[in-house]
Each structure stands twice: as structure tokens, then as C-alpha cells.
Amino acid sequence: MTTRMAEETAIPLFKGTTIVSVRRGALVALGGDGQITLGNMIVKAQARKVRSLHQGRVLAGFAGSTADALTLFERFENMLEAHQGHVGRASVALAKDWRTDRSLRRLEALLAVASREATYLISGAGDVIEPEQGLLSIGSGSSYALASARVLLKHTTLSPEEIVRESLATAADLDIYTNHEVTVLSLSSDGEAGPRNPGGEP
């Protein structure tokens, strides 16, 4: 198991999406675009790649295969239940299973998860990466989104939700695998998730 700490994290391993999460104080938001591609063809424009888990107290988004990601969402939610909603422990448990379980090892996706307390990237290599400032982006447009989010977080007073939207728009302008049909979820001060422009079905 490898745990890495980084100020910002961008891992653009998968084509077809951009996911970004931003944290400011006790507020956190996570969003993604809706485009799904098959080779060089757009097959869907309004897929929903982010969702709330554990009674709305945890946000999660994926980059990679949709079917694989749905399997990981289900497994991660089971881990949250097993660890009483502790996101860090659930993330480590999922990463361990993902690396060692034969049925999970071939899954091609990355997960970004966030609660009010912490943000993590989980990979099939056994990595659990926690960015120190809670600024995280994955997917093909992640470098663009991360750069935008970093600047907006440092030089503006925009909310996490607003920064996520602006960063996804920047990625959509520059990355052909990212579109402007976005879904953004945020955690309110009481820790409950609420959708903002809730996008399409998975």
C-alpha cells in the first residue's frame, strides 16, 4: 500500500472525462463533465460521473470505464458502511482490495472521493493520495482543470462550487474529451450533499 501526500494532484490517465474537487475551509465541491467517448466518437453527452454516497455525506467521481466505476462505487459504499463512514479508512480498504482481488484488479478507473474532512484519489495500483489543500483533478482534462482551480482558489473568493464549474469550463474549452454538460455536488455546512445542475443518468 502506498500513501502519497501532495499539494495538488493531477493524474490524466483516462480519456473521456474530467473530474475536479475543490476545498475551501469547511466547504467542498466535486464535479465532472458528462461526455462519454468510444474511440473518436461521442456516444453520450450527459452522463453523470459524480454522485453522493453514505447518506449524502461523501462525494465521489470517476474517470475511466463506466461499468468498472459503478462496480467501484458499490464497493466503496460498502467500505464506508463497514468503517462507519470514515473516508480515509474506507479508501485504504478499497485500494487494498482493488490491488489484491482478482475480480477488481482489471478494473480501469480512478476514483476521487471527498468528505468534509478530507479528499482522496484511489487507484488500482494501491495508491491512496490525499492532496494537502484538497485540490484534486483526474481524467483527460485534469491538467487544465487543476491549473484553473489552483489560480481561482489562490486569487479569488469564489466558493468551491463556483471554482469547480469554472475549472470544468476551462477543461471543456481545451480538451476534446470533456464537454460543458457538468454535474457539481457540494457538501453543505451540516455535511449533507446537494446537487447543483444534476446532469444526466449514469
Cell of 29: 465541491
For the chain, the helix, strand and coil percentages under 3-state DSSP, each to the nearest 5: 30, 35, 30
Whether residue 130 contacts residue 118, with contact meaning beta carbons closer than 8 Å, is answered with yes
Helices marked H in 52-193 — which ranges? 66-82, 87-100, 102-105, 142-155, 160-174
Whether residue 139 contacts residue 113, with contact meaning beta carbons closer than 8 Å, is answered with no
Spell out the residues 6+ positions from residue 55 whose beta carbon is closer than 8 angstroms to its own.
none
Residues assigned a catalytic role:
17
